[in-house]
Amino acid sequence: MASEPTLPDASTCIVLLLGNPVEHSLSPCIHNTAFAAHDINAVYAASQVAASDLADAVRGMRALRILGANVTIPHKERIVPLLDSVSPRAEALGAVNTVVARSENDARILHGDNTDIEGFLDPLREKSGLHAQPMTILGAGGAARAAAYALGITYAPTPLTVAARRPEQAQALVDALAPHVDNTTTFAACALDDASSAVRSSRLVVNATPVGMAPNAEATPWPNADCFAPGQLIYDLVYTPRPTRLLREAKARGADTQDGLAMLIGQAAAAYRLWTDRSMPVDVVRNEVMAHLAAAS
């Protein structure tokens, strides 16, 4: 278990999570555990912020001289023009999930980055046989955009199919990302109802939708489990419940499976490094998160 957290005082650094909703977030558990393990005088708090209040929240971050922030749905894209600068990968995605604050000429400068890419790739680094293989992403929102970019710059899938309920949204994602990834990557976009062939032929299938997340644990983004087979890796970015229906059915068909907890902790570890210049004590954090999930179940 992590050591007891330092009691907040006038010198305590503040890190915020900006989103709506935020009640379900595990980020306070993750980061406060890490701060305590490293005896860092900082506190991480989830803050529910309406879209109409986001600009005011960013102004407040400057006034409070915070250490940084995480940004989640629905603000990842909306916050970009409110910041002073963004990293190249955040610019390519058009989305920020991490804000780093620093002082410059007596002003507070806010820099945006996106650590979802590192988090997404973390559990894939130990997998073999992914380069230039066919892959499919279910969904075309922010998580799908991060996954597509990560796969495109790392594995050059041939092809990378993005399947969404609205095929025009999938096509827009493909068009936006194609200039930013390995030029040997080939893209395709289609409606979910037309994705059976792509799913069957894919070495990697990623669920980048929230379908199947608690409390709707018996929902699945892909009800056609007969498309799964040995030799495939099915990666569900949902991390609760563990496992999701999607992963249970994929495993029953002989496929390898990966849930979203590793991505959650991986993106948090990358953000923690940006704020503190220290490596997150991942084993301590994972144990605390598992205990938290067990207590909540």
Please name every residue paired with 48 in a beta bridge, in sequence order, or none if there are none: 19
For residues 180 and 263, give the distance between their C-alpha atoms in angstroms, rounded to a whole number: 22
Contacts of 268 (CB under 8 A, 6+ apart): 27, 30, 31, 34, 70, 115, 119, 280, 285
Name the token pair of 267: 């993106």
Strands (E), the chain: 13-19, 42-48, 68-71, 85-86, 98-104, 107-113, 135-138, 160-164, 187-191, 204-207, 233-236, 256-258
76 is catalytic: yes
Name the token pair of 277: 């210049």
Name the token pair of 177: 């990302």
Q: Which of 19, 22, 37, 76 is catalytic?
A: 76
Residue 110 burial (CB count, 10 A): 22
Radius of gyration, alpha carbons of the chain: 19
Residues with active-site annotation: 76
